[in-house]
Structure 1
Amino acid sequence: MGTMSQRVNGVIARAKGAPVEVATIIVPDPGPGEAVVKIQACGVCHTDLHYREGGINDDFPFLLGHEAAGIVESVGAGVTDVAPGDFVVLNWRAVCGDCRACRKGKPWYCFNTHNAAQKMTLEDGTELSPALGIGAFVEKTLVHAGQCTKVDPRARPAAVGLLGCGVMAGIGAAINTGGVTRGDSVAVIGCGGVGDGAIVGAALAGATTIIAVDTDEQKLEWARKFGATHTVNARDKDVVAAVQELTGGHGADVVVEAVGRPETYKQAFYARDLAGTVVLVGVPTPEMTVELPLLDVFGRGGALKSSWYGDCLPTRDFPMLTELYLQGRIDLDAFVSEEIRLDQVEEAFAKMHKGGVLRSVVLF
């Protein structure tokens, strides 16, 4: 531990399924390649709930929170990309620059991403596992400096912090992985934060038909605000038939599956045009399997792709999307349903289940 560790308040999940609690966190001084960031805003993402439920792994206690923006407070030895005072968005895939993906010039696939080497702890010395290597429901967090991406400080922290996870995953699924371009037809299945991000991305890229699919009318209403030209309620309609009908009988050029279930994946597979692209950005659970006639896989052609974090390169994508936000060309503010305090994270999880919010954002 450095000479000067700091004590701050943060939200932890102590045991599987237990309500989260605010605890005192010890944040060490940054070591080589590390940075301490004063958090200004952090979104409440479904993945945080997943950690609390033991759905990721059993490395309790977890320091939750990972969709965040803040100000660099201090940096360790050898850090040159960011400096104290910089306004940054945190990311959970700091590229190494050295693995086989990075060497091939495809750093968004980096197979050896960095996190901080030191651990944050509870007061009794118990090591914390930070959610997605970040842990940002806390006044200050310790990360690898590569997890900090400088963006324009005029941007609202609550809005651009969401680029740290869900919104970026969605925008990237459409633009980076799906390659959506002008005049395309796009269908998005599942219109939460990630799905709405995909709708924003499709609209930004110039797609002319953007079909939002969900079972919740409220979510479909939100999807329209983000740029959906058509909506399909999967409770009332056959999704594949509805998408085909809205695309001249052909199916969509790109279908983004933002649920991560076998049933919705099959819908995505059959709802696309010949030689179209399916992008899976919804995260399945380990026991799920999908069965498709191999002749259909061959005969329909095109591409079945998975999108890791929207195949984003934070240094390229975060500043660009922040700029588009400041220019009024993408509405990141619309993702922020409510601003809450650190001690309201448990309530935010409950709201997530009921579906009344798109994103609750903790402000510091």
Structure 2
Amino acid sequence: MPHEVRGVVARAKGEPVRLETILVPDPGPGEAVVSVAACGVCHTDLHYREGGINDDFPFLLGHEAAGTVEQVGEGVTDLVPGDYVILNWRAVCGQCRACRRGRPWYCFATHNATQKMTLADGTELSPALGIGAFADKTLVAAGQCTKVDPAAAPAAAGLLGCGVMAGLGAAINTGAVGRGDTVAVIGCGGVGAAAVAGARLAGAARIIAVDIDDRKLTSAEKLGATHTVNSRTADAVEAIRDLTGGFGADVVIDAVGRPETYRQAFYARDLAGTVVLVGVPTPEMTLELPLIDVFGRGGALKSSWYGDCLPSRDFPMLIDLYLQGRLDLDAFVSETIALDGVEDAFARMHRGDVLRSVVVL
């Protein structure tokens, strides 16, 4: 019997989202229905609303979520009703060439629910990142549910489902920041601030936060930045070099994803240093660099997709660090809102007023 619940739906490109009645089917084989406790408002949801991902409208938005398993379908053996979970959009298959090579964080065939959630009139919904968690309940593949300690507050825990994990993983997994390293993070919104926190967790000696908004730089300092640079008034590359003895940083993380910030990251790193791109560019953006500089500077140019995370490994570990007081996930929660407040939260996010608004159900 389908569950009739509320959900935040984007019906057409650029139109304000609406709170609508949606139908969530009982879980089929390999699926689970999750009662959502909290879900963060991420830039990716706004990209969906603006048609920046694809045009498979209408979308059921929301994907940075924590909640409780309510039902499981046939064949699901590692979840039971009552399990407290963070939802993820990288449910690895275990069979593709990446998984078989022991690199499941690159899985090329991740799972989503087979059945579709619908509007009340039967119109099929496209769930954001295969999740659709701006809703009282959602249907996902069982592998999209990662069990964590239920002591973790849902508003904080759910943020590991996307943006915070992307930033933490860009530093820890992709950038392989080590003890004593110097790290620069360009762009200190939710993802960049998480990269700062990740660099601190990894033991970086110097963490330089770069942004054009002093409010974001203040947040970055609270999360572990040792130095800040407002690139509206200072040359970011020169400032990073000045703070690193003229050499540049060992790891530079571009959490903006624009050609100009990538060039800053490229030239702000030390010889044989690493650039990590975790900010998401748009399809029309192009990059031009002198090939002799790419060759001559050495090192590594990497892209970080979801922080190269393995949810089953990383989520429980990070939640444990949160509960130990070593990772301040609460610092990312700027405000909690109701399910009907998502459209206004998009505006605050666009203005840079928040790290994360979080819907609490």
Task: Judge same fold: TM > 0.5, yes or no.
Answer: yes
Give identity over the alignment, percent: 79
What corresponds to 1:32 in structure 2?
29
Aligned partners of 1:83, 1:173: CA distance in 2, in Å?
32
Per-residue CA distance 1:211-230 (angstroms, 9 max, x = gap): 00000011101110000000
What corresponds to 1:351 in structure 2?
348
Superposed counterparts of 1:120-139, under 5 Å = 120-139=117-136
Of the three residues 293, 296, 309, the one matched with 2:293 is 296
Aligned partners of 1:92, 1:24: CA distance in 2, in Å?
24
Superposed counterparts of 1:28-67, under 5 Å = 28-67=25-64
Superposed counterparts of 1:157-172, under 5 Å = 157-172=154-169
- The alpha-carbon deviation at position 354 of structure 1 amounts to 1.6
Structure 1: gaps (5+ residues): none
Q: Which amino acid aligns with 2:51?
A: G
Aligned partners of 1:235, 1:363: CA distance in 2, in Å?
35
State TM-score, norm by structure 2: 1.00
Residue 161 of structure 1: SS of its match in structure 2?
helix
Residue 159 of structure 1: SS of its match in structure 2?
helix
- The alpha-carbon deviation at position 83 of structure 1 amounts to 1.1
Determine whether 1:340 maps to 2:337: yes
Q: Which moved more, 1:344-353 or 1:321-330?
A: 344-353
Of the three residues 186, 207, 215, the one matched with 1:210 is 207
Aligned partners of 2:76, 2:205: CA distance in 1, in Å?
44
Aligned partners of 1:363, 1:353: CA distance in 2, in Å?
20
Structure 2: gaps (5+ residues): none
Two-structure CA RMSD over aligned residues (Å): 0.4
Aligned partners of 1:35, 1:230: CA distance in 2, in Å?
45
Q: Which amino acid aligns with 1:355?
A: G
Q: Which amino acid aligns with 2:106?
A: Y
Count of residues in Structure 1 that have an aligned counterpart in Structure 2: 361
Aligned partners of 1:276, 1:350: CA distance in 2, in Å?
37
What corresponds to 2:246 in structure 1?
249
Q: Which moved more, 1:317-326 or 1:74-83?
A: 74-83
Aligned partners of 2:249, 2:230: CA distance in 1, in Å?
17
What corresponds to 1:21 in structure 2?
18
What corresponds to 2:229 in structure 1?
232
Aligned partners of 2:78, 2:208: CA distance in 1, in Å?
40
Aligned partners of 2:146, 2:330: CA distance in 1, in Å?
20
- The alpha-carbon deviation at position 81 of structure 1 amounts to 1.8
Aligned partners of 1:40, 1:311: CA distance in 2, in Å?
26
What corresponds to 2:321 in structure 1?
324
Of the three residues 179, 185, 190, the one matched with 2:176 is 179
State TM-score, norm by structure 1: 0.99
